[in-house]
Amino acid sequence: MTATPPDPAAAFKQQAAIKAASLVQDGMAVGLGTGSTAKFVVAELGRRVREEGLRIRAIPTSSVTEKQAKEEGIPLTTFGEQPELDIAIDGADEIEPRTLNLIKGLGGALLWEKIVASAAKQFVVVADASKYVDHLGAKCPLPVEVIPFGWEKVARQLGELGAHVTPRRNRDGSFYLTDEKNLIMDCVFGPMMEPKKLGRSILEIVGVVEHGLFLHMACQTITAGPEGIRILTPQQD
């Protein structure tokens, strides 16, 4: 259920989330994102379902979001029943304001998130304003999902592309596992001048399932900060 955010950053995330959730109309099929901002979207849509009678069907991007959606009373569907979505709303870890290219995956759900985003007519990104960067990789690592078998080999090959590679682990030292029971390699490349080329090179490595570069996928970003709500669309070259 919707709760009051305990700090200013969370309040900005909630503001952006509520604005994005207002784009969802009656009868839509909706992709529900994962993460600290997306959870406010799910909460707001749940409120609208309960209080306004909003009729939607949703596909979540993680088991965590699925649990929250059920708690909020949001009806869920599958790609077998609903092959195309009207809109998907999700967060991002970094955003290039000119291109709206993104890094996603610090929450561990990048594979499902990319499947859902690619199935949506509109992919809308919500975040607080701190997520904007001049070049992807400036602030956070690039998550890469890999199968457990042979991960050491994959990590070495990612390193050969210029990354400092760290397998993601839980607090107890065990490997972090995605919903598909894969591993995540957090790859620090630094600012990326050619993210499209890098993304292709990563996918050529046998054992890589997907990476967290979401390039030319977002149609709109909605962010909030001290200056208020900011809405961006990709700039045409």
pLDDT in tens, 143-158: 999 999 999 999 999 9
Between CA 96 and CA 18 the distance in angstroms is 22
* Dihedral (CA of 105, 79, 21, 54) sign: negative
User: Do the beta carbons of residue 40 and residue 18 sit within 8 Å?
Assistant: yes
Residue 81 has which token pair? Answer: 């029943």
**Residues 24, 124, 137, CA angle at the centre, nearest 5°?**
160
Strand ranges (DSSP E) for 91-203?
94-95, 102-103, 120-128, 142-146, 164-167, 183-188
Confidence (pLDDT) at 6? 58
Confidence (pLDDT) at 235? 84
| Buried-state track 24-37, b at ≥16 Cβ within 10 A, e below 16 | beeebbbbbbbbbb
Residue-level pLDDT, tens digit, the chain, 237 residues:
555 555 778 999 999 999 999 999 999 999 999 999 999 999 999 999 999 999 999 999 999 999 999 999 999 999 999 999 999 999 999 999 999 999 999 999 999 999 999 999 999 999 988 999 999 999 999 999 999 999 999 999 999 999 999 999 999 999 999 999 999 999 999 999 999 999 999 999 999 999 999 999 999 999 998 989 999 999 865
Q: Hey, which residues are catalytic here?
A: 113
pLDDT tens for each residue of 44-96 = 999 999 999 999 999 999 999 999 999 999 999 999 999 999 999 999 999 99
Q: Is 85 left (phi over 0), alpha (psi -120 to 50) or beta?
A: beta
Between CA 27 and CA 237 the distance in angstroms is 35
User: Do the beta carbons of residue 93 and residue 213 sit within 8 Å?
Assistant: no
**Residues 228, 232, 237, CA angle at the centre, nearest 5°?**
150
Residue 175 has which token pair? Answer: 């490997």
